[in-house]
Amino acid sequence: MKIEFQKMHGAKNDFVVFDDMKNAVSLSAANVAHICNRREGVGADGLIVARPSEHADFFMDYMNADGSVAEMCGNGIRCLAKYVFDRGLTDKTSLSIETRAGIKIVDLIADGNGQVGSVRVDMGAPIFDPAKIPVDIEAKSWPILDYALKIEGRTFPCSFISMGNPHCVILYDGADLADAPRNYGKVIENHPIFPAKTNVEFVQVLDRKTALMRVWERGSGETMACGTGACASAVFTIVKGLTDNEVSIKLLGGMLSIVWKGGNNSVVMTGAACSVYDGIITI
């Protein structure tokens, strides 16, 4: 089977994207892992298929680089929104996109050339209930902040949240921030307190409006950016009173703007969505 795809990225978090509006394409985990392999396939942090939805304009079928199915991807949903608009699958500039974490509303923002340059996403309210994240910790109240998690002789102050997928956010004060995902990410991702594994964010606050983040993504490893992770990190810097309600998260691949007014308000993320090239792959 030949698939026409587009390579895309959001803050250099990259994806293979194609549409299957007739639900005619079935991919195994091995197929996805092969496509995302950077030596044997196209190479990507994940694969996204635009499919029909009975409840929204489109359904985002998202899979991690190892072929595992994921609930949500913040950078990926921005790319999908640009893809369906650029391909003429819709002429709407405000879209509802169904994900495994619910329906998200996205707004396309034109650049100076009239092209879709960035996308704003209503990510929904953060989830702090440990049973819904999920994280296997008994707690009488939440959010759970600075839980002492011991890993390889170190104790990490972990805060737990779901942005449609599980996150472990660590305010990291070490000088080795750049190495932290590779050194500790995989072990934390697979720690037994996370029954569905977890994404791991290492965060340093620079000032009231800016934080630096490095990430280890569940099923993909270290990536250049993570949209849901940026949202999770911003929420906890706001909860802790370390930043204002609008935070710029600096990632290896670029900047994401996150706004959260607290409580049950939605987290709103804005960032770039970029097309790289079109191609055909045979599976």
Catalytic residues: 73, 226
CA angle 6, 86, 275 (to 5 degrees): 40
Task: At 253, list the tokens.
Answer: 């691949």
Cis ω for the linkage preceding 181 (within 30 of 0): no
Give the residue ranges of DSSP H helices in the chain. Answer: 29-36, 74-86, 180, 186-189, 227-239
Contacts of residue 120, defined as CB under 8 A and 6 or more positions apart, other chains included, come to 106, 107, 109, 268, 269, 270
CB 189 within 8 A of CB 40: no
Task: At 32, list the tokens.
Answer: 């996805």
d(CA 82, CA 106): 10
CA angle 36, 41, 47 (to 5 degrees): 25
CB 84 within 8 A of CB 18: no
d(CA 173, CA 209): 18
